Structure 1
């Protein structure tokens, strides 16, 4: 015997290829964590690199760079090293700057 039921408010689950975007609270916490971790690395070494594989991850790092600039009152440069890494640096330590660390 087959029982038929009506299902209300049922949505298909996203496939693993289509991850759900973070909630505003998750995004805020991610930026706060990156602000602390990357800020400490930049303060210690004058530059750092961080992986960014998607446009959303790159936008997040650019926003973190803006937050650090506003917090320190010193411009923090955020630039792509390659297709999967971003570099945050203080003045004089940008990519190609004389005296900056060599590229690996």
Structure 2
């Protein structure tokens, strides 16, 4: 039995990603700016997955936009191969493990 497939698109090679249109990219960045910005404002930091170079570039751009918007530096740090951490000063890895008090 032969079946015709309609609305089928070729998928990119394994590990590749489908590029977003300009409008989709703008909406994605605006959403990340709003959601991640709210989380950073509440907690001082946020961890977000970034599996591809495009996703990492997008998060770095969001951090730069937040820095410009707030007038305070938003730092970006790779936690592992799949996640980035965006944080304000005092909320980075170094502050997560403060030194023990001296006796």
Counterpart position of 1:15: 11
Confirm or deny: 8 A CA contact 1:14 1:20 kept in the other structure: no
Residue 35 (1) aligns with residue 30 (2): no
Larger Rg computed on CA atoms: 1
> CA separation in 1, counterparts of 2:84 and 2:52?
11
> CA separation in 1, counterparts of 2:17 and 2:91?
35
Flag as ranges the 4+ runs of structure 1 deviating above 6 A: none
Structure 2: unaligned runs, 5 residues or longer: 1-7, 98-103
Q: Deviations over 1:54-102 (max 9, x none)?
A: 0000000000000000000000001100000100000111222xxx335
Aligned residues: 88
Higher helix content, 1 or 2? 2
TM-score using structure 1 length: 0.77
Matches within 5 A, 1:56-95: 56-95=54-93
